[in-house]
Amino acid sequence: MSGNECPREADILEAIAFGRWPDGCGDLSAHAASCEVCADLVEVAVALHDDRTALCREAQPPSSGMVWWRATIRARAEATRTATQPISVLQGIAGACVVGAAAGLVTIAWQSMHWMDRIGELAMRLESRRADIATASTFATGHGLPILVAVAAGLVLAPLALYITLADD
Amino acid sequence: MRDVAFSTLEQLGAAATDSEGAFQMDEEAFRLFYERTARPVWAYLSRMSGNARLADDLLQETYYRFLRANVAHESDAHRRNYLFRIATNIVRDHRRRPRMDQSRLADGHDAAEPIDPQSADAAAGAVRRLDLARSMARLKPRERDLLWLAYAQGSSHKEIAETLGLKTASVKLLLFRARQRLARFLREGVR
């Protein structure tokens, strides 16, 4: 027997656990009164054993059905969250792409404003060459019908050709 | 609005059925296991957290984690130990979390026990339990775990070591020291 144990501890614990303490444990009780290790053991084990018994008696845990139901609902919610995580990532990427495209459009619009300046310059040049344009207009007026037919045919045939090409694919 | 509510309930019901596959046991096996273990686990959680109301939430969390754990148990005793291990970890996590109601945890005596005031035995028992709760609150969390598992739950040193993540050889000495401290606090409380 060392300073922190006693060979009779197991007997005392058993008596307490099975509710035989202290009645019917005359010999053990006498030992516990004289053994410091066992005295501590009795003090603590009786208090904890009684406390557990009282707590178990008072406990009003929810029904197993309720615990099961809550657990299943939570499991499903977690599964849904796990499943939708990649979708959320993709949505984030898509959002970033939209922002990038918008930024690109703004840049293009900004550049097109410079182009408008150039168109203005072109109009100025055309103004200076009005005589040449008048000659060209006279030519167009003379051959107006064939040009109109050619443009109309182009407008009708181009989508048709595109449709036929895609339909074959 | 009512249709939406019914629809939601139906979805939840269907969800519950689908999710059963994610658990380590079926509902009937769980019911049997729960009925055997719920009260001792609740008592453990209540005393370790020092808060009876909190124990209800911790109990639900304990069984949820138990059901979700994909662990094969060789025996019922092993399954019970595993459950207490989860409960221990949950209480530890809770202790680490800063909370508004931490003072309640420190007090450690929110048992709210219904006592018949006319019964002298009940009153004396209540005083003893209050002393115990106060004394337990003065211990370190690991000491509380050790003492409860050993003397309230009746676990062996090996089971305690598994539950608390300690070496079996060190349980005996740690238990001895914790017991000495609690016995001293209890005697001080009585005086």
Maximum CA pair distance of chain B?
A: 65
Burial of B169 (0-12, 13-18, 19+ CB in 10 A): exposed
B180 has a chain A CB within 8 A of its CB: yes
Chain B residues within an 8 Å CB radius of A71: 19, 23, 60, 63-64, 67-68
Q: Which residues contact B88 (CB under 8 A, 6 or more apart)?
A: B48, B145, B163, B164
* pLDDT < 50 stretches in chain B: 1-6, 8-9, 12-13, 15-16, 101-112, 115
Query: What confidence tier does A156 reach under pLDDT thresholds 50, 70, 90?
Result: confident
Chain B residues within an 8 Å CB radius of A74: 64
Q: What's the confidence (pLDDT) of residue A168? A: 55
How many Å lie between the alpha carbon of A77 and the closest alpha carbon of chain B? 9
Instruction: Choose from B12, B19, B70, B184 for mutation: most chain A CBs within 10 A.
Output: B19
A6, closest residue in chain B (CA to CA): B176
Task: Report the complex ipTM.
Answer: 0.75
Whether A113 shows a pLDDT value over 90: the answer reads no
Q: DSSP state, B98?
A: -
Q: pLDDT digit string (tens) for B160-183? A: 999 999 999 999 999 999 999 999
Q: pLDDT digit string (tens) for A33-85? A: 899 999 999 999 999 999 999 999 989 999 999 999 999 999 999 888 888 87
Chain B residues within an 8 Å CB radius of A76: 12, 15-16, 18-19
Residue positions counted in chain B: 191
Helix intervals (H) in chain B: 2-19, 27-49, 52-68, 76-96, 102-107, 120-138, 141-147, 157-164, 168-190
Q: What's the confidence (pLDDT) of residue B115? A: 46
Q: Out of B22, B39, B182, whose CB is closest to A79?
A: B22
Q: pLDDT digit string (tens) for B136-146? A: 999 999 999 99
- The answer to whether residues B130 and B120 touch, using CB atoms and an 8 Å cutoff, is no
Mean pLDDT taken over chain B: 81
Helix axes B168-190, B120-138, angle to 10 degrees: 130
The angle at the Cα of B131, spanning B130 to B132, to the nearest 5 degrees, equals 90
- Tokens representing A44? 């603590």
Chain A residues within an 8 Å CB radius of B187: 43
Q: What's the confidence (pLDDT) of residue B21? A: 63
Q: What's the confidence (pLDDT) of residue B107? A: 44
Instruction: Choose from A13, A42, A56 for mutation: most chain B CBs within 10 A.
Output: A56
AA letter at A67? V
Stated pTM of the model: 0.65
